[in-house]
Structure 1
């Protein structure tokens, strides 16, 4: 049975070889394929065996459909009154929330995300969902546009739109430390959003995820994160694009500098030795840990994930889980693709190192290098090291000291 279904899934998957999670037809195909698997009555062991068998195949849709089926099957074991809350920040998302008729790059993400959650929780009486959308001080009024969309879809009972500016004025939770929305680049809104979700949701069996506004990650996979928290007693479950069964299509230049970024932060925060893909926008926390993790956060910009992970590790070691997920980049209207956030993130990580972690001589040298580097020098370093870094295995990047601070300073043109 499993062998026959595997072949069928491969054949079906070929129909959507160039999988696009912003395409409604592709999304419907994925749901149909996942339902086919669930109707087969295969158990989790058999579905995970199929997932392994598909590793060598190129059928992206088949691989994603198996993940969705596993995710939904995992939720069948949840306790009564389980709630999944999903948080994401919005900044200049006014065009992305339109449909493809209204804008050539529109993703209609509010409707698609809600449909994915509806599918995931359908026929599961123990599980409910909601979404919290946080306007991150958007000059294009993303929050107001989102509220209009929510009203049109008649989803006001499931989707709440919040405004970081109002939370700052009211000094609510993590927003109290901000003076204006200019202090936040995603991190401030996510910290406030997950805090608000925890405060207004149930105190038990409540799982709070945060993701990106785009459709790069299918929310039907959230059951994989719930399962990781439930069965491994973790505080945070991190979606990872670097596991053997991850399904990944990445685009653009944001991926080009990633290895060098990983190499440098690994020299500063060895406590997170087991985590590689810290920036995957698909994570989930147990609600009871949200308040202590978001209290007195230093970082409110793009490196906020790192601080949450570090604080979690220091609060209760070895309770960060990794979950292989599907990720199909959606970059057409990205609000960060035109930025180069890696050096500012590294500078923020240096501050975390100096605040949270006992000093180490070699880490101090790397920290000083990063503090001294400007954007031009960072770009020079990326260009001169690109070929070497790209040819280096990611495990070596993480575990070995391949390039000394002195060598990197010379390559970047930083005075020593």
Structure 2
């Protein structure tokens, strides 16, 4: 019933829901090959669209999928829409909804070219008692359990031999996110959405977590434990007769699940060992900052990051301490995908459960593939995405209760990178010798010192993500 309900959500249907898509109540979706017709269609679609995004607006979230269907049905090459609405050096991108829709259309186009497959999607839940609700129930409500299902239903619609499932993993949430999610699943009668409980796995003595010191609850986990449990669960499933992929993402709607086609294409068509998204650092990445800012493309998507200098500093420290990750700018992007048969071998090497686990997971994956003889160009396919910031509930943003929250998070990640360096870089190696002064500083840097450094560096103006700091400058900013 749910598949049929959202099978063909058209622009016209969304007008009935109160969202203006075009001037008229519909338009013919005939094959089009002339720019004049394409320009007319695109103008109709763009008119009346908000500049920014509202992830709490169900109609707007569905509008992305409806417009993506219209783009595909138009008969116009996707590159034309990119050229017209992705912006450039002297041209701003189009409305964020339309930019997002073009990305979703590209994802579905690539997905349709694939053969049978199964996709397992994982996300962690902690403190999601607000975003899990509808907007009518809470101002920050995104209804993300239902909306993620709708986004995947749209991507998989009409695809024979392709199946999917969602594993929502509770990370010891004190606000009972798991019960809220289970109630929605029962109400909607979802057969392929399941809630896992990390605390149950710990209490049951799952050896994987006992080996990592998680023996008395989930307090040491900061998202990492929940995602790793989901990956462990998916990797433990019986082998399938079709290619099985496992991806993980964030619980909110910042990255649209309809983009999973890009991840599948990276592995099954491009032939990479894994795939991941990118929110900044390369062409066709877009950042949206609600409620007023639209889609900012590269490099503006970097400069407009609310934590820009912290991200630059994280990248600099990462390059110095973990040179094997040098070529990946957005290591923290929670939109990564693997073949199911590789997952257990990768996660068995991951030790951390905190906010920096994404980085270690990527490091372990790349090391595993390199050791297996995979050439560098086939290690990881990176797909640029549109990312919408969620300021209201983010763990990386300051709050009225904790204005220093972001400094604490990034300082902790700096400490974590130091621990990873000591774990993965051989003692006595040239890399270890070169990084020794930075390791000594990063190992114990407090969030108060980190904050002082960032504020001092910000006074000197914005820098590109790959800015090469002099270590003396870093130490001076801390004093």
Q: TM-score, normalised by structure 2?
A: 0.79
1:194 alignment partner in structure 2: 231
Tell me, in whole angstroms, the C-alpha distance in 1 between the residues paired with 2:284 and 2:58: 24
1:132 alignment partner in structure 2: 167
Q: 2:437 aligned to 354, 365, 370, which one?
A: 365
Tell me, in whole angstroms, the C-alpha distance in 1 between the residues paired with 2:43 and 2:284: 15
- 1:381 and 2:453 correspond: yes
Deviating more after overlay: 60-69 vs 357-366: 357-366
- Give the root-mean-square deviation of aligned CA atoms: 2.0
1:22 alignment partner in structure 2: 56
Tell me, in whole angstroms, the C-alpha distance in 2 between the residues paired with 1:275 and 1:162: 31
Tell me, in whole angstroms, the C-alpha distance in 2 between the residues paired with 1:370 and 1:11: 53
1:210 alignment partner in structure 2: 248
Post-superposition offset of 1:307: 0.7
Q: Are 1:21 and 1:218, in contact at CA under 8 Å, matched by a contact in 2?
A: no
Post-superposition offset of 1:83: 0.9
Post-superposition offset of 1:6: 5.2
- 1:51 and 2:111 correspond: no
1:168 alignment partner in structure 2: 202
Q: 1:95 aligned to 121, 126, 130, which one?
A: 130
Q: Secondary structure at the match of 1:181?
A: coil
Q: Secondary structure at the match of 2:202?
A: helix
CA distance 1:48–1:191, shift in 2 (3 Å): farther
Tell me, in whole angstroms, the C-alpha distance in 1 between the residues paired with 2:109 and 2:306: 36
- 1:104 and 2:139 correspond: yes
Q: How does 1:16-415 map to 2 (within 5 A)?
A: 16-42=50-76, 46-56=77-87, 57-80=93-116, 82-155=117-190, 157-172=191-206, 174-176=208-210, 177=212, 178-179=214-215, 180-200=217-237, 202-203=239-240, 204-242=242-280, 243-250=282-289, 253-317=306-370, 318=376, 319-338=379-398, 339-340=405-406, 341-358=409-426, 359=429, 360=431, 361-388=433-460, 390-395=461-466, 397=467, 400=468, 402-404=469-471, 406-413=472-479
Q: Are 1:88 and 1:211, in contact at CA under 8 Å, matched by a contact in 2?
A: yes
Number of residue-to-residue matches in the alignment: 402
Deviating more after overlay: 108-117 vs 237-246: 237-246
Tell me, in whole angstroms, the C-alpha distance in 1 between the residues paired with 2:169 and 2:344: 18
After superposition, give the CA deviation of every residue in 1:255-281 in whole Å (9 maximum; x if it has no partner): 452111111111111111210011122
Unaligned runs of 5+ in 1: none
Q: Are 2:55 and 2:142, in contact at CA under 8 Å, matched by a contact in 1?
A: no
Deviating more after overlay: 355-364 vs 210-219: 355-364
Q: Are 2:284 and 2:385, in contact at CA under 8 Å, matched by a contact in 1?
A: yes
Q: Secondary structure at the match of 1:275?
A: coil
Unaligned runs of 5+ in 2: 1-32, 88-92, 291-304, 371-375, 399-404
Tell me, in whole angstroms, the C-alpha distance in 1 between the residues paired with 2:425 and 2:455: 31
Q: Are 1:75 and 1:127, in contact at CA under 8 Å, matched by a contact in 2?
A: no
Q: Secondary structure at the match of 2:172?
A: coil
CA distance 1:21–1:10, shift in 2 (3 Å): farther
Q: Are 2:56 and 2:140, in contact at CA under 8 Å, matched by a contact in 1?
A: no
Tell me, in whole angstroms, the C-alpha distance in 1 between the residues paired with 2:39 and 2:308: 31
Deviating more after overlay: 227-236 vs 116-125: 227-236
CA distance 1:260–1:2, shift in 2 (3 Å): farther
Q: Are 2:120 and 2:247, in contact at CA under 8 Å, matched by a contact in 1?
A: yes
After superposition, give the CA deviation of every residue in 1:314-337 in whole Å (9 maximum; x if it has no partner): 112321221101111122223443
Tell me, in whole angstroms, the C-alpha distance in 2 between the residues paired with 1:240 and 1:102: 32
Post-superposition offset of 1:292: 1.0
Post-superposition offset of 1:20: 2.2
Tell me, in whole angstroms, the C-alpha distance in 1 between the residues paired with 2:385 and 2:253: 13
Tell me, in whole angstroms, the C-alpha distance in 2 between the residues paired with 1:284 and 1:294: 13
CA distance 1:244–1:52, shift in 2 (3 Å): farther
Tell me, in whole angstroms, the C-alpha distance in 2 between the residues paired with 1:393 and 1:18: 24
Deviating more after overlay: 31-40 vs 169-178: 169-178
